[in-house]
Amino acid sequence: MQRTEIESLGEFGLIRRLTEQTVLRQPSSLLGIGDDAAVINPEGKRVVVSTDMLCEGVHFDLSYAPLKHLGYKAVAVNLSDICAMNALPTQVTVSIAVSSRFSVEALDELYAGVHKACAVYGVDLVGGDTSSSTSGLMITVTALGLVDGEQAVSRSGAKAGDLLVVTGELGGAYMGLQVLEREKVVFQSAPTAQPDLSGHEGILERQLKPEARTDVIRELADLELKPTSMIDISDGLASEVFHLCASSGLGVKLYEDKLPIDPHTYKTARDFNLDPTLCMLSGGEDYELLFTISQDDYEKARNHPKLSVIGHMLEDKDEKTLITKNGLETPLKAQGWDGIQQSNKAEES
Ligand code: ADP
Ligand code: MG
């Protein structure tokens, strides 16, 4: 494959190449790339802004994350943060720091993912910055979104008795990562081995190419259902539940049998000797939305195919309980990915 050095284009040539296909779709985007700054017209709405940085070796591993997926994911996870405020995303800026290890063609791939995500979500790329890096790749995305008057939702508005709701299904992204890690180990010991990823496409997509739930934000608006508090699930359900509890000054009761998992994720967790519930609680990177609603809105959420009511908020901020499938009360724990592996080892021994 052809390899064009970044140097041969220079900074401005590179920016032009990566951004020349950019189109503006949003009426609020008055001026995009090419000037000193972009100009946005919120037309009386409120502007929501969020930034996330992704660093090679910390947030992604290029030995299994294709650059196109990485570009897509970098945008999608930022749009997810905008959704978590009950807003709809409208613009992004993308800043990159790259070392000479990367060719222009590699950056084309990265930006193919960025442009794809912008097209899928109807969001405009309106700026960014380009820098060299002495080691590795860094991508910073800033997302902007708009929300009507009083509709923005923070983490802190939940009330005792509010119902806790989660979108979609949980644990898939974590199990996708487990499959990728397994194949990476196999590959490192026998570089000619072909990775065995077949059948796992769904969970690999969940890990490599997560989606932001703009669809749910639109449907909540159609239902006239305004959450009382909301957060997106980047670290894992339990950890995000703890954030909502801390911000709202409340406790929580969760029901294990209400947690949504898709059958393939469940089976893969079992095959890996992992507890599917632990994968849902602590897996992370599902980018689903977690929110609370008033009990008066129960009927609106109850039969919605994308929503699961998984528990409720408690007055006592020190009580955070999981009711297991057997009806036992256990303290809810927020453990990271390492925690899953450790408790798995403890179960084995
Ligand atoms: P400045 O010197 O004012 O920072 P730049 O030369 O860095 O301007 O950028 C020129 C234009 O290209 C600006 O509109 C900027 O937002 C945009 N831009 C620069 N780098 C990127 C990038 N990696 N992705 C998207 N847009 C970019
Ligand atoms: Mg610049």
- 6-147 and 163-348 in the same fold: no
The predicted-structure confidence for 77-104, as pLDDT tens digits, reads as follows 999 999 999 999 999 999 999 999 999 9
93-133 pLDDT per residue, tens: 999 999 999 999 999 999 999 999 999 999 999 999 999 99
Distance CA 300, CA 307 (A): 10
Q: Between 3.30.70.580, 3.90.650.10, 3.40.960.10, 3.30.465.10, what CATH number should domain 163-348 receive?
A: 3.90.650.10
Per domain, the residue ranges of the chain are 6-147, 163-348
Which of 24, 67, 115, 129 has the most ligand 1 atoms within 8 A of CB, as the residue to mutate?
129
pLDDT at 12 (0 to 100): 94
How many angstroms separate the CA atoms of 117 and 74, rounded? 9
For domain 6-147, the CATH architecture is: 2-Layer Sandwich (3.30)
Query: What local confidence, expressed as pLDDT, does residue 302 receive?
Result: 94
What's the mean pLDDT when you consider all of the chain?
Answer: 93
Residue 35 Cβ inside 6 Å of ligand 1? The answer reads yes
Prediction pTM value: 0.93
For the cut 60, the answer to whether the pLDDT of residue 342 exceeds it is no
Which of ligand 1's atoms lies nearest the C-alpha of 38?
14
Q: pLDDT-based confidence at 349, cuts 50/70/90?
A: very low
Atom of ligand 1 nearest to the CA of 11: 6
What's the confidence (pLDDT) of residue 88?
Answer: 98
Q: Report the alpha-carbon distance of residue 130 to residue 64 in Å, rounded.
A: 24
pLDDT, mean of residues 226-252: 97
pLDDT value for 18: 97
Tokens of 208: 């490599």
Nearest CA to ligand 1 atom 3: 36
Whose C-alpha lies nearest to ligand 1, atom 7?
Answer: 129
CA of 128 to the centre of ligand 2 (A): 7
In one-letter notation, the amino acid at residue 18 is: L
User: Is residue 129 lining ligand 1, measured as CB closer than 6 Å?
Assistant: yes
Per-residue pLDDT at 147 exceeds 90 = yes
Average confidence (pLDDT) over 223-241: 96
Q: Which pLDDT score, from 0 to 100, does residue 96 have?
A: 98
Rounded to a whole number of angstroms, the CA Rg of the chain reads: 21
- Cβ atoms of 146 and 88 closer than 8 Å: yes
Bridge partner residues of 47 (DSSP): 146
36-67 pLDDT per residue, tens: 999 999 999 999 999 999 999 998 888 888 99
Pairwise CA distance, residues 285 & 281, whole Å: 11
Q: Which of 146, 141, 168 is nearest to 78 (CA)?
A: 141
Using DSSP, state whether 210 is helix, strand or coil: coil
- Closest protein CA for atom 6 of ligand 1: 12
Backbone angles phi, psi at 153, to 5 degrees: -120, 130
* Residue 2 pLDDT: 86
Report the percentage of the chain scoring pLDDT > 70.
Answer: 96
Q: How many CA atoms lie within 13 A of 318 on its CB side?
A: 0
CB-ligand 1 contact for 34 (6 Å cutoff): yes
Residue 166's pLDDT is 98
